[in-house]
Amino acid sequence: MATTTALCTSFKSEILTKTHNLASDTIKVALIKASPTGSYGAASTAYSNITGNSDEVSGTGYTAGGATLSGGAVTTSGTTAFADWSDVSWSSATISTSACMIYNSSASNKAISTHDFGGTQTVTAGTLTLVFPTADASNAIIRIG
């Protein structure tokens, strides 16, 4: 199956009901294995979508549930609001991944977004770093315009 880069539809609805606070909730990122059996994208609703299909990465240096994102900030520019976090790394890791899901651990592990890496990313006894794009209205990882 595949992963598409998308803001989850459920997240769009949940922000209107005050389910998420991306500046203060515990936001996490989970890695999806290189050849997932499930499909992930706009229809994804929760981190359990990944675990239910056994599609989360496993390997040395990676812990189920992924990593907690730090430095959360919500900003606006013009008519666009966007969120940003610090880059996140898994060190001494031996894993292969093709995508990730950002989710809200403070809100019953509800999905925020899914991101395809454009191919398999493999690290062997090294460091895998997710580098978040520039935090602005055109490039930030989460944008609502």
pLDDT at 1: 78
3-state secondary structure of 116: strand
User: Can you give the pLDDT at residue 81?
Assistant: 97
CB 114 within 8 A of CB 41: yes
Q: 56-76 burial string, b = 16+ CB within 10 Å, else e? A: bbebebbeeebbebeebebee
| pLDDT given for residue 107 in this prediction | 98
**AA letter at 120:** T
Q: Can you list the residues of the chain whose pLDDT is less than 70?
A: none
Residue the block writes with tokens 């989970």: 30
The pLDDT of residue 31 is 98
Residue 12: CB atoms within 10 Å: 12
- Report the C-alpha dihedral over residues 129, 2, 140, 19, rounded to 10 degrees: -110
